[in-house]
Every structure is written in structure tokens, then in C-alpha cells.
Amino acid sequence: MALLPSYSCSSSSSKGGKYDVFLSFRGEDTRKRFTNHLYTTLKQKGISTFKDDEKLKRGTSITPELLKAIEESRFAMIILSWDYASSKWCLIVLTKIVECMKKTGLVVLPVFHYVDPSDVRNHRGTFAEAFDKHEESFKDNMRNIETWKAALTKVADLAGWDLKDKYESKVIQEIIGRICTELYHKFSSVYEDLVGMDSCVEEMLGSYLGEGLGDVRFVGICGMGGMGKTTLAQEIYRRISGNFEASSFIANIREETKNQGLVSLQKQLLSKILMESEIRIWNVYEGIDVIRNTLHNKKVFIVLDDVDGEQQL
């Protein structure tokens, strides 16, 4: 059976768009914490993301490149923090995002960063204070102010995530899962022409890998060679790996065991989970302990392809 390359989530960069996600945020409020954690996780999942301090070239005029990045993105994540509206640049970007919702079908996903969504929607609290200051600065151009207010109300009306009383890590995983699911539905699959694939995948997800079936699941796909076991496993991995903290698809288990040994496979697994290139393991038993200690408190999805011995599991 021919093995197909594995990946965590479809990327728009190979399908016509330059970025999957555009991040809009007030740097002083969130850059070093929530935004950084979100951006790091997006990168780990292979989701092409525009973040101003990563993508903008030094000396480049900020507005044109930012606005162009929005037009070239599939999703816009707007992190609405307490001081977001005080930034003229944030409001200009926000207005462009709302414009692209209508023109390009940009999907907008707001995050309410410890602010009340109703305060954002109705311009109360710090948002009211911010617009009062803008009105002082733009007395001769109140049209801009009204446009910014309308854009803020529009975004605040959208379904999103409220961080109040929630673990940030859990919210980030929900965001990643939503984006990966949307990307899967938005872009055609390399398996779309395979007869019966969807029904097989749905049966696996519904009967064996769905919600409410326990915390730990061990599922085997068995059968004669050439039946499509690897292809089915690849498609399942593609669809749901984004819902986990970490994921790994390891191919050619039988051949790798014969040629490189189990320690090599253990290193490969940990390298993908930990996103580290150099893993130090000297024997199988040490590897078992490291894997157990590393994964025991994580929500992970691991696929081992072409297993032919219990020792490999």
C-alpha cells in the first residue's frame, strides 16, 4: 500500500491563500502571554499565521502590509483586550477585517480577553474611554470614529471565546480545533475521490473515537494488505489531530523496527510531541519511562502505521 504524507492541518498556503490565520491584538495587553501561546500552538499545528512582530519587515510601512495580510488570510482571530480600542492601528485593522468579511468571506473569530462582551458591543468602560479620546483627536473626521464603532459592534456580536473563568490553554485548544475543522471543510481532501472513504471515517469517529467513550482509547485497524488501512488512518488523523494538545503519525513501523530499532521510533514519537529535534534516549526501557512521564497528563493522538508485533505497541 502506498503511504501518503501526514500533516496536522490543511494549510491555505498551498491552496491559493498566503495565510490561514491573521492575528489582531493590542501588543501591550496580550503579546507576551495569551497571544504568544496561541501563536506558538498555531505554528506547531502547521497553521500559517500572520503576527505583526513576526511577519513585518523592519522599515516597512505598517498599514499597507497589515491590510494586505488580512486580504490574504482565511481566518482573523481578534483578541479584544481592555485597551484594544485605544489603539488607532487596531481599529483600522478591525475595520479592514469587517470589510473582508463581506468581500472575501474572511471568517472572524473573536476572543474576549477578560473583558465583558457586552461592554465591547456597547462601547462601555475602557472602550468608551478610548473612543472619547479618539473623538478629541479626530474632531474633523468623525466618520472614522463611527466606522470604528460599527466594526467593533459587528465583531462583538459574533460567537467567540470569553476567557473569564476559563483556562487559557483549554480555550487555545478549542480555537485550534475549530480552525482545523473549518480548514478541513473549506478545502478539498486528497481522498475525496475514494469511494466509501467518508462512511468508513464517520463510522470510526462515531463508534470508536467520538466524545464520551472514556479518557483513553486504543483502536486497531486490521485487515489484509491493500485494503486501505493506512489511507483510512491518514484521513482520520487529518480530520481530528487538531483537537489534541499534541499528535503524531508514525509510518512504516515494521520497516523502521527492523532497520533502526524501537529506540529510533521512541525518539521519533517524542520529537513530534515535544517539537524538539534532539531526543536523548539510550535504551527501550528508558524510552518507555520518558514517554509515560511526558504523555501522562496530555491529550494526545498517536497513529502507528504498519504494526506487526506486540513489542512495537
Residues 103 and 202 in one domain: no
Judged against a pLDDT cut of 50, whether residue 260 lies above it is answered with yes
Q: What percent of the chain stands above pLDDT 90?
A: 39
Residues 225 and 144 in one domain: no
* Residue 312 lies inside a defined structural domain of this protein: no
* Residue 45 lies inside a defined structural domain of this protein: yes
Q: Which domain holds residue 215?
A: 193-304
Give the predicted TM-score (pTM) of the model: 0.65
Beta-carbon contacts of 193 under 8 Å, excluding residues fewer than 6 positions away, are: none
**What is the rounded distance in angstroms from the CA atom of residue 35 to the CA atom of residue 78?**
10
Q: How far is CA 75 from CA 7, 72, 170, in A?
A: 19, 9, 20
How many of the other CB atoms lie within 10 Å of CB of 290? Answer: 18
Mutual angle of helices 168-186 and 229-240, in 10-degree steps: 130
Note the pLDDT of residue 28.
Answer: 85
Bridge partners (DSSP) of residue 248 are 302
Asked if residue 49 lies in contact with residue 109, where contact means CB atoms within 8 angstroms, the answer is no
* Residue 183 lies inside a defined structural domain of this protein: no
**What is the rounded distance in angstroms from the CA atom of residue 293 to the CA atom of residue 15?**
39
From 110, 144, 175, the end of a domain falls on 175
Note the pLDDT of residue 298.
Answer: 80
Residues 246 and 296 in one domain: yes
* Residue 125 lies inside a defined structural domain of this protein: yes
Phi, psi angles (nearest 5°) of residue 303: -120, 125
Note the pLDDT of residue 85.
Answer: 95
Residues 57 and 120 in one domain: yes
From 145, 175, 205, the end of a domain falls on 175
Judged against a pLDDT cut of 90, whether residue 76 lies above it is answered with yes
Beta-carbon contacts of 17 under 8 Å, excluding residues fewer than 6 positions away, are: 72, 73, 74
Residues 123 and 262 in one domain: no
Residues 169 and 257 in one domain: no
Residues 55 and 140 in one domain: yes
Residues 54 and 153 in one domain: yes
How many domains are there within the chain?
2
* Residue 313 lies inside a defined structural domain of this protein: no
Residues 21 and 167 in one domain: yes
Give per-residue pLDDT as tens, 204-255. 887 777 655 457 888 888 888 877 888 888 888 887 887 787 788 898 899 9
Give per-residue pLDDT as tens, 157-194. 999 999 998 999 889 988 988 888 777 655 444 555 56
Q: What is the mean pLDDT of the chain?
A: 83
Mutual angle of helices 88-103 and 142-156, in 10-degree steps: 60
194-202 long-range contacts, CB within 8 A, separation 24+: 194/228, 194/231, 197/228, 197/231, 197/232, 197/235, 200/232, 201/232, 201/235, 201/236, 201/239
Residues 142 and 199 in one domain: no
Cell 473626521 belongs to residue: 141
Residues 103 and 241 in one domain: no
Judged against a pLDDT cut of 80, whether residue 58 lies above it is answered with no
Residues 39 and 148 in one domain: yes
Q: How far is CA 96 from CA 102, 108, 162, 175, 259, in A?
A: 10, 11, 23, 22, 54
Note the pLDDT of residue 34.
Answer: 94
Note the pLDDT of residue 111.
Answer: 97
